[in-house]
Amino acid sequence: METLQMYAEVRAGHPFRGSVPETQDGSALTVQMRDVSVSNGVAWANVARTNPSGRKKPDWLRPGDILFLARGARNFAVHLDQVPGPAVCSQYFFLIRLTDSRVLPAFLAWQINQATAQQYLRRNAEGSDQLSIRRGILEALPLTVPSVARQEQILSFVQAVKREQALVEELRQNRDNEVQALFARLLQRNEINA
């Protein structure tokens, strides 16, 4: 059985003591839990600046890295297709860096977010107050690794589905706006006729 550790290195996020000390003139961006979502990735515009310090040298994020949110009720992966400057992730993440070119980073992040991997992660989460995933559990995550060409096909299909969902949502919003405008006109007519 193929596992994550066969294709990637898993590192802990930067160890801040307590909350991340934010500063306007910080030398680096620090990705925190509030900055990421499955659907939108990292909201770089909202990421706080800080000065990473401590004994551990920062693991600077780079394009192609994957951030895995290891704490909380939702554990998911986000692929970094770009990093807008010096940046680290906080201690609530694992940084996944591929070591094998037979796996595309975006495909790996997508696979981690699929039902089979999510079930594995839920079954192996630990903690009573706040759930978390240990590094060893993440490293042992079973993977299916098709050819790079097949991975590209899957990612292309996933992108097409996302575009379709965005268009459907835009259409829904437009319909809601039309209904609201119609309702407002009807109310206005009733007030005039009253």
CA 63/CA 14 separation, integer angstroms:
17
Residue 53, pLDDT score:
78
Average confidence (pLDDT) over 117-142: 93
Residue 192, pLDDT score:
65
CA 134/CA 131 separation, integer angstroms:
10
Helix or strand or coil: residue 30?
strand
For 118, the token pair is 């999510």
Entry pTM: 0.85
Give the model's confidence band at 109: pLDDT under 50 very low, under 70 low, under 90 confident, else very high. Answer: very high
CA 191/CA 186 separation, integer angstroms:
9
Average confidence (pLDDT) over 89-114: 96
- 33-37, 42-46, 124-128: least confident range: 124-128
Q: What is the DSSP string of 35-102?
A: GEETTTEE-GGGPEEE---SSSPP----TT-EEEE-BSS---EEE-S---SSEEE-TTEEEEEE--TT
Angle at 14 between CA 138 and CA 59, to 5 degrees: 85
